[in-house]
Chains A and B, each alone.
Chain A
């Protein structure tokens, strides 16, 4: 079974082409990194897959079906700066939002939904902060709350946009442990990531992207110097860093 299948996907903002003829087939059960330089269209790829963009052509299948939010198969962690953290709500409430799709319009969350939300907060080590208003959380804690909300969706395929940006080391370890646990449970996880140093440790599958797909496949086959060179173009500074890192290991 394929977790994700993308055919001939192209996206343009106004007149600028951001993604060009993207084709992907990725089987279920992988922890996939979406890697590429700034402006490569990594976030755009996720948003296009999740049907959030108007100017897109091509087809997307998730678990071999067209995306339908009513299936509750897809969980999503947006970039942390995509929302206003001064919004009057607390951590548990945000996690509970992950249940809204299951609860349905107008209806109230049940005790069971609240219990699920609380358990998800516990999974990310944030149960002590359930009543804390979100504006008072640190960046790492906010990111954990976002992850907990995605867990509360009880989805099969997860998409996460830069979950490691601006978080502390402990949060990064917590998040990666949870992602690996999701993979162990047979879920599929796609993560936009820009840190080449950690990429090969974190992900067993990689999509190298720079407006179009440079490579996609198991990490050991795709995370090669040639492919990175192609995806990153002339930005050799990054290349040298990864190379020296590799030789150290």
Chain B
């Protein structure tokens, strides 16, 4: 229940939610959400490899391993798209499953080795926020803060780069470097969240809050704030609910919370929500019918 440690876990989950909500919005607008999903799955072999090499479960080491294989996966997707006839969806599907498959094999090897049973690496698949140690949470929080800071700093540049890269290059923005920075930050977000949320569902933290926030506004600033709020709320709720019961993973609960927020947004958001749009269509029709009637009189 709400012990001292859980408070720390909550703070970490909220910061992670905000970081993923902000970074995810940029990835979502760039139509790179699925690349994030592949990068998250590709973190698994990195975690297992780092454990096999260093034989310890220090979060920074595992994060480093995860970052390397994640980044490699993103690079491979880009390479395949650039150097073959394959389209992005096929490249993403291929890279995601191959990396994840290797990850599962490596995790099995770790689990069967002597020390492996206690390693708790299985928690990285679906996430277990409540059992995170305080030192791990410090890593998570500082990394999340760094992501938040970068998103605030490069808000204007990323906005233009995503909206109109040709114009951005024309006025002298280092478009390629900005793109790499955004991708690197997406990988960092994933790596930051893997222990709390798990590799399989981490991409949901990038995609769902951003997609839900899109219903609420046509203004990027407001969308970012809304997405950060949704991320924080899902992170916090997911952490609390999953801590009630031993054996309940955090990732799936976070996804369920985020999905609920998405459904609420989809139906009830003003201007872009389903109900508001249907109402508008209806009044428009009625007005036209009324106009027609007066025209006939």
Q: Which residues of A contact B (CB under 8 A)?
A: 47, 50, 52, 68-70, 72, 74, 76, 78, 82-84, 87-90, 93-94, 97-98, 100-101, 103, 105-106, 108-109, 133, 135-136, 149, 153
Contacts and interface: CB of A to CB of B under 8 A. Distances in A.
A232 B132 CA distance: 71
Given A82-B164, A88-B214, A106-B157, A100 B219 contact: no
A97 B160 contact: yes
B163 A89 contact: yes
Nearest to A133: B218
B172 interface: yes
A100 B214 contact: no
A100 B156 contact: yes
Nearest to A99: B171
Contacts of A84: 163
A100 B165 CA distance: 13
Contacts, number: 74
B124 to A, nearest CB: 34
7 contacts: A69-B170, A87-B220, A88-B214, A97-B163, A100-B160, A101-B171, A136-B218
Nearest to B163: A87
Contacts of A82: 164, 166
A80 to B, nearest CB: 11
B40 interface: no
B168 to A, nearest CB: 8
Given A100-B156, A105-B157, A89 B169 contact: no
Contacts of A78: 164, 166-167
Contact of B172 (A70, A83, A90, A136): A70
Interface in B159-200: 159-160, 162-164, 166-173
Contacts of B75: none
Contacts of B159: 89, 97
A100 B173 CA distance: 9
Nearest to A75: B170
Contact of B223 (A83, A88, A90, A97): A88
- Which residue, B162, B171, B172, has most C-beta atoms of chain A within 10 A? B171
